Amino acid sequence: MLSETSLSKSDLIYPLFVVEGENVRKEISSMPNQFQLSVDNILRECDELSRLGIRSILLFGIPREKDEVGSAAYADNGIIQQALRSIKKAFPEIVVVTDVCLCEYTSHGHCGVVESGNVDNDATLALLAKEALSHAQNGADIIAPSDMMDGRVQAIRKALDDGGFADIPIMAYSAKYSSAFYGPFREAAESAPQFGDRKSYQMDPANSDEALREIALDIAEGADIVMVKPALSYLDIVRRASEEFNIPIAAYNVSGEYSMLMAAAANGWLDRDRTMLEVLTSIKRAGADLIITYFAKDAARIL
Ligand code: PBG
Protein backbone atom coordinates (compact mmCIF):
# COMPACT_ATOMS: atom_id res chain seq x y z
CA MET A 1 0.00 0.00 0.00
CA LEU A 2 2.84 2.35 0.80
CA SER A 3 5.20 1.30 -1.95
CA GLU A 4 6.30 4.38 -3.92
CA THR A 5 7.49 2.61 -7.04
CA SER A 6 5.80 -0.07 -9.05
CA LEU A 7 7.28 -1.99 -11.88
CA SER A 8 5.00 -3.27 -14.60
CA LYS A 9 5.35 -5.28 -17.78
CA SER A 10 4.35 -2.29 -19.87
CA ASP A 11 7.53 -0.47 -18.71
CA LEU A 12 9.76 -3.08 -20.31
CA ILE A 13 11.25 -3.23 -23.80
CA TYR A 14 13.00 -6.44 -24.87
CA PRO A 15 16.03 -6.21 -27.19
CA LEU A 16 16.36 -8.80 -29.97
CA PHE A 17 19.24 -9.57 -32.34
CA VAL A 18 18.18 -10.55 -35.86
CA VAL A 19 20.45 -12.45 -38.24
CA GLU A 20 20.10 -13.71 -41.80
CA GLY A 21 19.22 -17.34 -42.49
CA GLU A 22 16.63 -19.81 -41.34
CA ASN A 23 16.17 -21.60 -38.06
CA VAL A 24 19.14 -19.81 -36.49
CA ARG A 25 19.13 -19.66 -32.70
CA LYS A 26 22.68 -19.02 -31.62
CA GLU A 27 23.32 -18.29 -27.98
CA ILE A 28 25.54 -15.28 -27.29
CA SER A 29 28.33 -16.72 -25.19
CA SER A 30 28.79 -13.61 -23.04
CA MET A 31 25.02 -13.20 -22.56
CA PRO A 32 23.52 -16.48 -21.30
CA ASN A 33 19.92 -17.03 -22.47
CA GLN A 34 20.13 -14.33 -25.15
CA PHE A 35 20.30 -15.37 -28.79
CA GLN A 36 20.99 -14.23 -32.32
CA LEU A 37 17.77 -15.24 -34.09
CA SER A 38 16.74 -15.56 -37.72
CA VAL A 39 13.42 -13.98 -38.70
CA ASP A 40 11.43 -17.24 -38.33
CA ASN A 41 12.67 -17.59 -34.76
CA ILE A 42 12.07 -13.91 -34.06
CA LEU A 43 8.41 -14.59 -34.85
CA ARG A 44 8.38 -17.46 -32.34
CA GLU A 45 9.92 -15.10 -29.83
CA CYS A 46 7.24 -12.47 -30.51
CA ASP A 47 4.59 -15.07 -29.87
CA GLU A 48 6.13 -15.88 -26.50
CA LEU A 49 6.48 -12.19 -25.64
CA SER A 50 2.82 -11.58 -26.46
CA ARG A 51 1.80 -14.41 -24.20
CA LEU A 52 4.01 -13.04 -21.41
CA GLY A 53 2.50 -9.58 -21.80
CA ILE A 54 5.61 -7.81 -23.12
CA ARG A 55 4.34 -5.25 -25.62
CA SER A 56 7.50 -3.82 -27.06
CA ILE A 57 10.78 -4.96 -28.64
CA LEU A 58 13.98 -3.21 -29.72
CA LEU A 59 15.50 -4.71 -32.87
CA PHE A 60 19.20 -4.90 -33.73
CA GLY A 61 20.22 -6.21 -37.14
CA ILE A 62 23.32 -8.21 -37.94
CA PRO A 63 23.80 -8.22 -41.72
CA ARG A 64 25.56 -10.92 -43.72
CA GLU A 65 27.83 -8.39 -45.46
CA LYS A 66 29.41 -5.26 -44.02
CA ASP A 67 31.04 -2.41 -45.95
CA GLU A 68 32.65 1.00 -45.36
CA VAL A 69 29.35 2.91 -45.46
CA GLY A 70 27.03 0.32 -43.90
CA SER A 71 24.89 -0.14 -47.03
CA ALA A 72 22.99 -3.08 -45.52
CA ALA A 73 21.53 -0.69 -42.94
CA TYR A 74 19.33 1.01 -45.52
CA ALA A 75 18.84 -1.73 -48.12
CA ASP A 76 15.28 -2.79 -48.94
CA ASN A 77 16.18 -6.42 -48.41
CA GLY A 78 18.26 -5.61 -45.31
CA ILE A 79 17.84 -7.85 -42.30
CA ILE A 80 15.90 -5.30 -40.23
CA GLN A 81 13.67 -4.48 -43.18
CA GLN A 82 12.85 -8.18 -43.66
CA ALA A 83 12.24 -8.66 -39.95
CA LEU A 84 9.99 -5.59 -39.73
CA ARG A 85 7.78 -6.76 -42.59
CA SER A 86 7.33 -10.22 -41.06
CA ILE A 87 6.79 -9.04 -37.49
CA LYS A 88 4.30 -6.32 -38.34
CA LYS A 89 2.34 -8.74 -40.51
CA ALA A 90 2.09 -11.43 -37.85
CA PHE A 91 2.03 -9.23 -34.71
CA PRO A 92 0.66 -5.80 -35.61
CA GLU A 93 0.07 -5.05 -31.93
CA ILE A 94 3.73 -5.36 -30.90
CA VAL A 95 5.47 -1.98 -30.71
CA VAL A 96 8.64 -2.40 -32.72
CA VAL A 97 11.46 0.00 -31.92
CA THR A 98 14.43 -0.16 -34.28
CA ASP A 99 18.01 0.71 -33.43
CA VAL A 100 19.35 3.18 -35.95
CA CYS A 101 23.14 3.09 -36.09
CA LEU A 102 25.84 2.07 -38.54
CA CYS A 103 28.17 0.10 -36.27
CA GLU A 104 26.51 -3.26 -36.92
CA TYR A 105 26.77 -2.64 -40.67
CA THR A 106 30.19 -1.07 -41.20
CA SER A 107 33.33 -3.11 -41.83
CA HIS A 108 35.29 -0.85 -39.43
CA GLY A 109 32.62 -1.16 -36.70
CA HIS A 110 32.26 2.57 -36.07
CA CYS A 111 28.86 4.23 -35.72
CA GLY A 112 29.54 6.62 -38.59
CA VAL A 113 31.43 7.15 -41.82
CA VAL A 114 35.21 7.08 -41.39
CA GLU A 115 37.30 9.71 -43.22
CA SER A 116 41.11 9.57 -42.81
CA GLY A 117 40.86 7.59 -39.60
CA ASN A 118 38.16 9.73 -37.95
CA VAL A 119 34.40 9.41 -37.73
CA ASP A 120 32.90 12.17 -39.89
CA ASN A 121 29.85 13.39 -37.96
CA ASP A 122 28.16 15.39 -40.69
CA ALA A 123 28.74 12.90 -43.50
CA THR A 124 27.05 10.28 -41.32
CA LEU A 125 23.78 12.19 -40.87
CA ALA A 126 22.43 11.55 -44.37
CA LEU A 127 23.03 7.80 -43.99
CA LEU A 128 21.30 7.65 -40.60
CA ALA A 129 18.34 9.55 -42.04
CA LYS A 130 18.17 7.08 -44.91
CA GLU A 131 18.31 4.14 -42.49
CA ALA A 132 15.56 5.61 -40.30
CA LEU A 133 13.30 6.30 -43.27
CA SER A 134 13.81 2.78 -44.56
CA HIS A 135 12.82 1.37 -41.13
CA ALA A 136 9.67 3.53 -41.10
CA GLN A 137 8.76 2.44 -44.63
CA ASN A 138 8.99 -1.18 -43.57
CA GLY A 139 6.81 -0.77 -40.48
CA ALA A 140 8.91 0.44 -37.53
CA ASP A 141 6.77 2.06 -34.84
CA ILE A 142 9.54 4.00 -33.07
CA ILE A 143 12.97 5.01 -34.40
CA ALA A 144 15.84 4.82 -31.89
CA PRO A 145 19.10 6.41 -33.05
CA SER A 146 22.02 5.14 -30.93
CA ASP A 147 24.97 6.52 -32.90
CA MET A 148 25.48 9.75 -30.87
CA MET A 149 26.31 11.92 -33.91
CA ASP A 150 25.45 15.58 -33.29
CA GLY A 151 22.38 16.72 -35.21
CA ARG A 152 21.06 13.27 -36.05
CA VAL A 153 17.69 13.70 -34.39
CA GLN A 154 16.97 16.74 -36.54
CA ALA A 155 18.18 14.98 -39.70
CA ILE A 156 16.07 11.91 -38.95
CA ARG A 157 13.00 13.98 -38.00
CA LYS A 158 13.21 15.82 -41.30
CA ALA A 159 13.61 12.64 -43.34
CA LEU A 160 10.65 11.03 -41.57
CA ASP A 161 8.44 14.11 -41.98
CA ASP A 162 9.35 14.54 -45.64
CA GLY A 163 8.76 10.83 -46.25
CA GLY A 164 5.23 10.93 -44.84
CA PHE A 165 6.06 9.57 -41.38
CA ALA A 166 5.39 12.64 -39.27
CA ASP A 167 3.66 10.49 -36.66
CA ILE A 168 6.58 8.09 -36.05
CA PRO A 169 8.26 9.02 -32.76
CA ILE A 170 12.00 9.19 -32.11
CA MET A 171 13.49 7.59 -29.01
CA ALA A 172 16.93 9.20 -28.88
CA TYR A 173 19.88 7.63 -27.13
CA SER A 174 20.65 11.13 -25.86
CA ALA A 175 23.03 10.51 -22.98
CA LYS A 176 24.95 7.50 -24.15
CA TYR A 177 28.23 6.99 -22.35
CA SER A 178 31.42 5.51 -23.70
CA SER A 179 31.06 2.46 -21.48
CA ALA A 180 32.85 -0.82 -20.84
CA PHE A 181 29.43 -2.28 -20.01
CA TYR A 182 28.69 -2.66 -23.73
CA GLY A 183 31.30 -5.41 -24.05
CA PRO A 184 28.94 -8.40 -24.35
CA PHE A 185 26.65 -6.52 -26.77
CA ARG A 186 29.51 -6.04 -29.18
CA GLU A 187 29.85 -9.81 -29.37
CA ALA A 188 26.08 -10.15 -29.82
CA ALA A 189 25.89 -7.51 -32.55
CA GLU A 190 29.34 -8.22 -33.99
CA SER A 191 29.96 -4.48 -33.80
CA ALA A 192 33.26 -3.94 -31.96
CA PRO A 193 35.23 -1.07 -33.53
CA GLN A 194 38.16 -2.43 -35.54
CA PHE A 195 40.40 0.48 -34.49
CA GLY A 196 40.24 3.18 -31.82
CA ASP A 197 37.19 3.60 -29.59
CA ARG A 198 33.93 5.52 -29.48
CA LYS A 199 35.12 8.32 -27.21
CA SER A 200 34.90 10.99 -29.89
CA TYR A 201 31.13 10.55 -30.08
CA GLN A 202 30.00 8.82 -26.87
CA MET A 203 30.10 10.60 -23.51
CA ASP A 204 32.74 10.70 -20.79
CA PRO A 205 31.50 8.75 -17.73
CA ALA A 206 32.79 11.60 -15.55
CA ASN A 207 30.22 14.07 -16.93
CA SER A 208 26.66 14.76 -15.93
CA ASP A 209 26.00 18.42 -16.88
CA GLU A 210 26.96 17.43 -20.41
CA ALA A 211 24.29 14.72 -20.35
CA LEU A 212 21.65 17.34 -19.65
CA ARG A 213 22.94 19.47 -22.52
CA GLU A 214 22.83 16.47 -24.88
CA ILE A 215 19.27 15.70 -23.79
CA ALA A 216 18.15 19.31 -24.20
CA LEU A 217 19.61 19.38 -27.73
CA ASP A 218 17.83 16.18 -28.72
CA ILE A 219 14.51 17.46 -27.38
CA ALA A 220 14.98 20.71 -29.31
CA GLU A 221 15.72 18.68 -32.45
CA GLY A 222 12.50 16.70 -32.06
CA ALA A 223 13.11 13.70 -29.79
CA ASP A 224 9.91 12.30 -28.25
CA ILE A 225 11.56 9.97 -25.73
CA VAL A 226 15.12 10.43 -24.43
CA MET A 227 17.38 7.70 -23.15
CA VAL A 228 20.14 7.38 -20.61
CA LYS A 229 22.53 4.50 -21.19
CA PRO A 230 23.87 2.45 -19.40
CA ALA A 231 21.40 2.52 -16.51
CA LEU A 232 23.03 1.35 -13.30
CA SER A 233 26.17 3.43 -13.07
CA TYR A 234 24.11 6.38 -14.35
CA LEU A 235 21.04 6.42 -12.11
CA ASP A 236 22.00 9.94 -11.03
CA ILE A 237 21.69 11.01 -14.67
CA VAL A 238 18.28 9.32 -14.94
CA ARG A 239 17.21 11.21 -11.82
CA ARG A 240 18.54 14.58 -13.02
CA ALA A 241 16.98 14.12 -16.44
CA SER A 242 13.59 13.18 -15.02
CA GLU A 243 13.61 16.23 -12.75
CA GLU A 244 14.77 18.61 -15.46
CA PHE A 245 12.69 17.53 -18.46
CA ASN A 246 9.00 16.81 -18.81
CA ILE A 247 9.38 14.07 -21.39
CA PRO A 248 9.38 10.26 -21.19
CA ILE A 249 12.76 8.92 -20.08
CA ALA A 250 14.05 5.51 -21.09
CA ALA A 251 17.01 3.80 -19.43
CA TYR A 252 18.97 0.96 -21.02
CA ASN A 253 19.93 -1.82 -18.62
CA VAL A 254 22.78 -2.83 -20.92
CA SER A 255 24.47 -6.09 -21.78
CA GLY A 256 27.26 -5.87 -19.20
CA GLU A 257 24.76 -5.17 -16.45
CA TYR A 258 22.82 -8.24 -17.50
CA SER A 259 25.84 -10.51 -17.83
CA MET A 260 27.32 -9.48 -14.46
CA LEU A 261 24.18 -10.51 -12.66
CA MET A 262 23.78 -13.70 -14.68
CA ALA A 263 27.38 -14.68 -13.93
CA ALA A 264 26.97 -14.07 -10.21
CA ALA A 265 23.69 -15.99 -10.18
CA ALA A 266 25.27 -18.91 -12.08
CA ASN A 267 27.92 -19.09 -9.37
CA GLY A 268 25.28 -19.10 -6.67
CA TRP A 269 26.56 -15.76 -5.36
CA LEU A 270 23.35 -13.82 -5.96
CA ASP A 271 19.69 -14.74 -6.11
CA ARG A 272 18.93 -13.95 -9.74
CA ASP A 273 15.25 -13.10 -9.48
CA ARG A 274 15.45 -10.98 -6.35
CA THR A 275 18.48 -9.09 -7.63
CA MET A 276 16.88 -8.57 -11.03
CA LEU A 277 13.70 -7.10 -9.55
CA GLU A 278 15.71 -4.88 -7.23
CA VAL A 279 17.78 -3.60 -10.17
CA LEU A 280 14.74 -2.91 -12.36
CA THR A 281 12.87 -1.25 -9.49
CA SER A 282 15.86 0.99 -8.78
CA ILE A 283 15.91 2.17 -12.40
CA LYS A 284 12.22 3.00 -12.19
CA ARG A 285 12.67 4.68 -8.79
CA ALA A 286 15.44 6.86 -10.22
CA GLY A 287 12.91 8.26 -12.68
CA ALA A 288 12.83 6.09 -15.79
CA ASP A 289 9.47 5.59 -17.48
CA LEU A 290 10.71 2.83 -19.77
CA ILE A 291 13.40 0.21 -19.22
CA ILE A 292 15.14 -1.61 -22.03
CA THR A 293 16.30 -4.88 -20.54
CA TYR A 294 17.41 -8.40 -21.45
CA PHE A 295 15.56 -9.44 -18.26
CA ALA A 296 12.16 -8.42 -19.70
CA LYS A 297 10.89 -11.98 -20.12
CA ASP A 298 12.18 -13.18 -16.74
CA ALA A 299 10.68 -10.15 -15.03
CA ALA A 300 7.35 -10.61 -16.84
CA ARG A 301 7.11 -14.17 -15.56
CA ILE A 302 7.25 -12.84 -12.01
CA LEU A 303 5.29 -9.60 -12.34
C1 PBG B 1 25.11 0.61 -31.12
C2 PBG B 1 24.66 0.17 -29.79
C3 PBG B 1 25.42 -0.34 -28.70
C4 PBG B 1 24.49 -0.72 -27.73
C5 PBG B 1 23.23 -0.41 -28.21
N6 PBG B 1 23.35 0.17 -29.47
C7 PBG B 1 26.86 -0.59 -28.56
C8 PBG B 1 27.85 0.48 -28.65
O9 PBG B 1 27.56 1.67 -28.73
O10 PBG B 1 29.01 0.09 -28.69
C11 PBG B 1 24.82 -1.37 -26.41
C12 PBG B 1 23.71 -2.16 -25.79
C13 PBG B 1 24.14 -3.10 -24.72
O14 PBG B 1 25.31 -3.13 -24.28
O15 PBG B 1 23.27 -3.86 -24.29
N16 PBG B 1 25.73 1.81 -31.23
Confidence of residue 109 (pLDDT cuts 50, 70, 90): confident
pTM, entire model = 0.96
CA torsion sign for 96, 81, 257, 238 is negative
| Residue 118 in this model has a pLDDT that exceeds 90 | no
Q: Is 61:20 a contact under the CB 8 Å cutoff?
A: no
Active site amino acids: 176, 229
| Residue nearest to ligand 1 atom 14, measured at CA | 182
Residue 145 lies in a domain: yes
Residue 132 lies in a domain: yes
Other CB atoms within a 10 A radius of the CB of residue 162 amount to 11
Better pLDDT: 191 or 278? 278
Least confident range from 103-107, 253-257, 266-270, 293-297: namely 103-107
271 C-alpha vs ligand 1 centroid, how far in Å? Answer: 27
Tell me which of 105, 146, 181, 194 to substitute to probe ligand 1's pocket, judged by most ligand atoms within 8 Å of the beta carbon.
146
pLDDT at 145: 96
User: Nearest-CA neighbor of 149 among 172, 117, 183?
Assistant: 172
Across 223-242, average pLDDT: 98
93 C-alpha vs ligand 1 centroid, how far in Å? Answer: 26
User: Nearest-CA neighbor of 57 among 73, 44, 72, 46?
Assistant: 46
Beta bridge partners of 252: 292
Q: What CATH number corresponds to the domain at position 145?
A: 3.20.20.70
Residue 224 lies in a domain: yes
89 C-alpha vs ligand 1 centroid, how far in Å? Answer: 27
Residue 251 lies in a domain: yes
Angle between helices 152-162 and 209-221 (to 10 degrees): 20
Across 14-36, average pLDDT: 97
Residue 4 lies in a domain: no
The DSSP bridge pattern shows strands 171-176 and 225-229 to be parallel
Which residues constitute the domain of residue 75?
9-302
Angle between helices 79-90 and 39-52 (to 10 degrees): 40
Residue 237 lies in a domain: yes
Pocket of ligand 1 (CB under 6 A): 99, 101, 103, 111, 146-147, 182, 185-186, 198, 254-255
Count: domains in the chain: 1
- Residues 55-87 have pLDDT tens digits of 999 999 999 999 898 989 999 999 999 999 999
User: Nearest-CA neighbor of 211 among 233, 183, 182, 185?
Assistant: 233
Residue 2 lies in a domain: no
Residue 3 lies in a domain: no
